[in-house]
């Protein structure tokens, strides 16, 4: 049996997503990660589907599981941060691996009312704030 060396045959997180986000939890289909931008409570869902680039690369069962994971991530943000609005987006123009942004928005956040991309420079969490934020989100998932 030969193996193709150019395409991964198991799920691997794209290096850019690994660099920009921190691990939070494994949901039914997706890895849940925290975007390293303290400007907004910003989650990223990455389906563990090999070589998926578009939502249309998922089968119906996977798409519905993605919808359920988006719902769970949205409720997590609503419960923990009480935002004014949730933004959900699969863009992927730069990083080709399918990933979905789930972002808590406030009328006083630095990009409001525009979408967050291209507005203000990302603010990395300090180590202390990152640990606090990750623990807060993980604990809320357990309750």
Determine the interface stretch with a second copy among 19-27, 52-60, 123-131, 135-143 (rule: CB under 8 A). Answer: 52-60
CB-based contact 89:34 (threshold 8 Å): no
Total of chain residues touching a second copy, rule CB under 8 A: 31
Determine the interface stretch with a second copy among 1-9, 11-19, 70-78, 125-133 (rule: CB under 8 A). Answer: 70-78
Cβ count within 10 A of residue 76: 20
Kindly provide the b/e burial profile for residues 107-127, where b requires at least 16 CB atoms within 10 angstroms of the residue's own CB.
eebebeeeebeeeeeeeebee
Residue 34: helix, strand or coil by DSSP? strand
- Closest CB 30 distance from a second copy, rounded Å: 14
Distance of alpha carbon 91 from the chain centroid:
12
Q: Which is nearer to a second copy, 106 or 125 (CB)?
A: 106
Among 45, 49, 70, 137, binds a second copy (CB under 8 A): 70
Residue 141 interacts with a second copy (CB under 8 A)?
no
Residue 122 interacts with a second copy (CB under 8 A)?
no
CA distances from 72 to 30, 83, 103 (A): 11, 15, 13
Near a second copy in 81-110, by CB under 8 A? 85-94, 105
- Closest CB 80 distance from a second copy, rounded Å: 14
Token reading at 90:
């699969």
Residues making contact with a second copy (CB under 8 A): 54-56, 60, 63-64, 66-68, 70-71, 74-75, 78, 85-94, 105, 112-115, 117-118
């Amino acid at each position: 049996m030969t193996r193709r060396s150019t395409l991964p045959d198991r799920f691997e997180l794209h290096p850019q997503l690994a660099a920009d986000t921190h691990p939070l939890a494994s949901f039914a289909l997706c890895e849940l990660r925290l975007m390293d931008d303290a400007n907004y409570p910003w989650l990223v869902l990455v389906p563990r589907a090999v070589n998926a680039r578009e939502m249309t690369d998922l089968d119906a069962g996977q798409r519905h599981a993605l919808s359920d994971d988006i719902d769970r991530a949205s409720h997590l943000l609503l419960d923990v941060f009480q935002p004014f609005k949730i933004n959900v987006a699969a863009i992927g123009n730069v990083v080709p691996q399918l990933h979905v942004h789930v972002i808590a928005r406030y009328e006083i956040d630095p990009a409001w009312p525009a979408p967050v991309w291209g507005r203000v420079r990302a603010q990395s969490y300090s180590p202390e704030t990152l640990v606090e934020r990750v623990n807060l989100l993980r604990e809320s998932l357990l309750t």
